[in-house]
Structure 1
Amino acid sequence: MPVSKSANAMTIEASWVQISVPAAAGVTATVMPGWWVLPEQPRGAVLVLPEVFGVNSWVRSVAERLAQEGYAALALSTFSRSAPDLDVGYDEAGLAAGREHRDRVTAEQLLADVQAAVDWIQQSHPSLSLGCVGFCFGGHLAMLAATNPAIAATCDFYGARVSSFKPGAVEKTTLSVVPEVAGRLWCFCGDQDPLMPAEELQAIDQALRSADTEGSRHRLVVAPGAGHGYMCQARADFHPEAAASGWNQMLELFAEAL
């Protein structure tokens, strides 16, 4: 059942939807839940890829904040094949559950899910330009999603291990796909993030610069004093100043690209 919400004179409709994901590249067919939030007159659409904690209340609030800015937003269940309804808290038990399902995700699955979501949005809103934002593991996946030619702009918030790991792959890394990104890609992290050491940031910076020699499409944004998960109010590392800055820069990118 759709839920109507109003904030700052903006009326939005929010509801769970079910998106069919066909079998492809070793990916089994399934139905993927998504939290779909639609403003009255959308100016663009954004895919929201969650942390390992699932499409929980904070992730849904991100989609709703984007809708209040005029963007249709679809928060995807990236664990749709093993735990489609995962919604856990920011504690050790929640982290353990999320990591169990994280390790079952493959790049092929993610790309199939993203294409299904893109097709679903474009069927009803073909004129909307598309963006993507992801947090933590969702940030890592957002870098992969950015290779979808329909996505014009992507924000990867503290997507760790992109220089050393690619879901479901043995030899390749997620960072190796950056040259395939046709749109814009901004990577965000805190300089106190233990999951993203200096060598990881250097690798990301080098990959972005190599793929965008003019420096007009890609960007690495390092937030001083911020740790991992600094955008999320429910996490211990929440950093109000860095979160506000990251949110505003994301909106800047989407306003320019979408």
Structure 2
Amino acid sequence: MTHREIRSITVKLVNGDLDIPAYLAMPVAETPSPGIVVLQEIFGVNGHIRDITERFAKEGYVAIAPALYQRLAPGFETGYTTEDIKIGKEYKAQTRAAELLGDIQGAIDYLRSQTPVQDNPIGSIGFCFGGHVAYLAATLPDIKATASFYGAGITTMTPGGGEPTITRTPEINGTVYG
């Protein structure tokens, strides 16, 4: 398997008045490419999520991982200790579906501004909390495919309260892999 040479940087997304850092990885060769939004676990955009983002870029995607806790804890990233899990869960409990969707739309808009992506398909992928958020992201018109890995709570809740995220399934236009 041939992996592409990539470049990676932290970029700034906008959702209303909030600037959101996002980790962007893309092939150096600017050929037409699909985009993918990589959605974090409760641990923030840490080394693991940056590695996943880079792996997608090596396979030819323009991949972006927005910092979903930016309004709660700017720059947050952590490891996997019991204390880290506790803190991550506290931030997760404060997220709101509308804010998350706005942040993801900011990532989509950024991807669309990149020459390789422009009119190419965009998907999303997430793990645990990010898997739940990826399922939620699938309701956005630009998301054509979603992979939700162990999307915690999809059938029982939605970030910020309200009907469980699963009830939004009719709003999904793309393909969901879970």
Matches within 5 A, 1:5-24: 8=2, 10-22=4-16
How far apart, CA to CA, are the structure 1 residues paired with 2:86 and 2:59? Answer: 34
Give the corresponding residue for 1:244. none
Task: Name the CA shift for 1:186/1:147 in 2 (closer, same or farther; >3 Å).
Answer: same
SS of equivalent residue, structure 2 residue 113: helix
| Stretches of structure 2 lacking an aligned partner (at least 5 in a row) | none
- Following the alignment from structure 2 to structure 1, what is the Cα–Cα distance between the partners of residues 62 and 114? 12
Look up the match of 2:124. Answer: 132
Equivalent residue for 2:81, pick from 77, 83, 91: 91
- Identify if the C-alpha distance between structure 1 residues 163 and 124 changes in structure 2 by more than 3 Å, giving closer, same or farther: same
Task: Give the TM-score taking structure 1 as reference length.
Answer: 0.65
1:120 deviates by 1.4
Of 23, 46, 58, which aligns to 1:35?
23
Match status 1:176 vs 2:167? yes
Show the counterpart of 1:119.
109
2:39 touches 2:127 (CA, 8 Å); kept in 1? yes
How far does the alpha carbon of each residue in 1:76-116 deviate from its partner, in whole angstroms, 9 at most, with x for none?
11111011311111111110111111111100001111111
Structure 1 equivalent of residue 67 of structure 2: 77
- The Cα shift of 1:164 comes to 0.8
**What is the distance in 1 between the residues matched to 2:161 and 2:103?**
17
Query: Which portions of structure 1, spanning 4 or more consecutive aligned residues, are displaced by more than 3 angstroms?
Result: none
State the Cα RMSD in Å.
1.4
Identity %: 36
Q: Which has the higher contact order (CA 8 A, sep 6+)?
A: 2
**1:83 counterpart letter in structure 2:** A
Distance 1:8 1:65 in 2: 12
1:60 aligned to 50, 75, 96, which one? 50
Return the letter of the residue paired with 1:32: I
Hey, what does 2:147 align to over in structure 1? Answer: 155
Shift of the alpha carbon at 1:43? 2.2
Aligned-partner residue type, residue 19 of structure 2: V
**Does residue 49 of the first structure (1) align with residue 39 of the second (2)?**
yes
**Equivalent residue, structure 1, for 2:91:** 101
**2 CA distance for matches of 1:31 and 1:128?**
25
Question: Using the alignment, how far apart are the partners of 1:86 and 1:114 within structure 2?
Answer: 17
Report the AA paired with residue 134 of structure 1. Answer: G
C-alpha distance after superposition, 1:27-51 (max 9, x if no partner): xx21111000011235211000010
- CA-to-aligned-CA distance 1:199-241 (integer Å, 9 cap, x gap): xxxxxxxxxxxxxxxxxxxxxxxxxxxxxxxxxxxxxxxxxxx
1:52–1:98 Cα contact (<8 Å) kept? yes
Q: Cα distance, 1:124 vs. partner?
A: 2.4
- 1:48 is paired with a residue whose SS is strand
**Residue 142 in structure 1 maps to residue 134 in structure 2:** yes
Partner residue, 1:255: none
Structure 1 unaligned spans of 5+: 1-6, 23-28, 188-258
